[in-house]
Amino acid sequence: MRVGNEVWYNWGGNRPLSVPKCGFDGKQCPVDFVSAYLGFVLAGVAVVVLAILAGIYGIYASIRAKHREEERLDSLWKVPHAALKQVSNKGKTENSMRSFTSGPSSTSTKMTLESRIETRNFLFYSYERDPVVALKHQSSRLLLTETERKEMRVMKSLEHDNVCRFIGLCLDSSQMLSIWRYCSRGSLADVIRKVIYSSTLSCPTQVQPNS
């Protein structure tokens, strides 16, 4: 055994194979797994990459579709400032002015209407040929949270004869405006003021003669 180790010392003490691993011409080397199945490996890698890309695109498409749906729903209550037509007593908007009041048009009616075109809290516009009133908001924050946007959608869907309908918000103006359907009777304060005024006029007064 010791003799064998000394003989095959240059081969690590092991007897070499009778036939070299790659053959005598060096062309019979065993093929590694990747080389033998290169096509299958590339196909597998391609499938994995495509699956990852498809997953990423699916997530992106889902997020984009959700974003577009939210934009569509928000567009229902967003009122562009350019769509609000200022009420005027001249030109074509005169008919819009008359629609803000009931009864025949007259000079006194126009003067009253002119005085109500803009107040400290309200603006009057024509939106899609309908009279609307815009409530001014002092808040400079024009970006709404998701919860607030959902509330706007709910408010937009509400419609009742006894409720002044919410048209939407105008966010692209210098001041945030909430747009409401115009009520010819005016605000609650206007109604109360008219009732008090009419009650005062209807109360009889007694004149005491001078003694």
Specify burial of residue 76 (Cβ count, 10 A radius: 0-12, 13-18, 19+): exposed
The domain spans of the chain are: 81-187
pLDDT in tens, 19-39: 777 777 777 787 777 777 888
CA 200 – CA 137 distance, rounded (Å): 34
pLDDT of residue 106: 40
Is-contact 134 125, C-beta < 8 A? yes
**Highest mean pLDDT of the ranges 60-64, 171-175, 190-194:** 60-64
Lowest mean pLDDT among 90-94, 169-173, 175-179: 90-94
Q: Which CATH number fits domain 81-187: 1.10.150.20, 1.25.40.10, 3.30.200.20, 3.90.420.10?
A: 3.30.200.20
pLDDT in tens, 42-65: 899 999 999 999 999 999 999 999
pLDDT of residue 100: 45
User: With a threshold of 0.75, does the pTM exceed it?
Assistant: no
